[in-house]
Amino acid sequence: MKLLAPSLAIVGALAAWAGVQLFGSGPDAEAVARGRAHVEKTCVGCHPGSQLDVVAARRLDPADRDPMDRFLAGHHVADPALRADVIAYLETRLPAADPES
C-alpha cells in the first residue's frame, strides 16, 4: 500500500508530461486556447461578449457537436481541427448543466 501513492504520482506526472488526459479530466487546455484565439480574432467582431454566449447556447449541444460543427464549417472555420478547438472553447462558455434536470 505504501508504494501505491508514489506509483500513482509517477503515472500522473508521466501522463501530464505526455499530454494525456486521465479519467476524462475535461477539455484539452491547448485546444481551448487555440479555439479562444480564433474566436477572439475572427468571431467577436460580429458576436461580442454575451452575444457569443447566446449563439453558443442556441447552437451547441455538448452531447451532439455535429450541428455546431456543420455551422462552423460554413461560417469562417473550414479546418476540422480548428472547428474542434473552437467548439471546445465555446463549451467552456456554456452555463453549467443543472444537476436537477
Give the confidence band of 27 by pLDDT, cuts at 50, 70, 90.
Answer: confident
Cell of 12: 500522473
Convert the pLDDT of each residue in 29-84 to its tens digit: 999 999 999 999 999 999 998 899 998 888 898 789 999 999 999 998 999 999 99
Cβ contacts of 65 within 8 Å, gap of 6 or more? 87
Q: Contact 55/47 with Cβ under 8 angstroms?
A: yes
Q: Of the candidates 63, 25, 14, which has an alpha carbon nearest to the alpha carbon of residue 87? A: 63
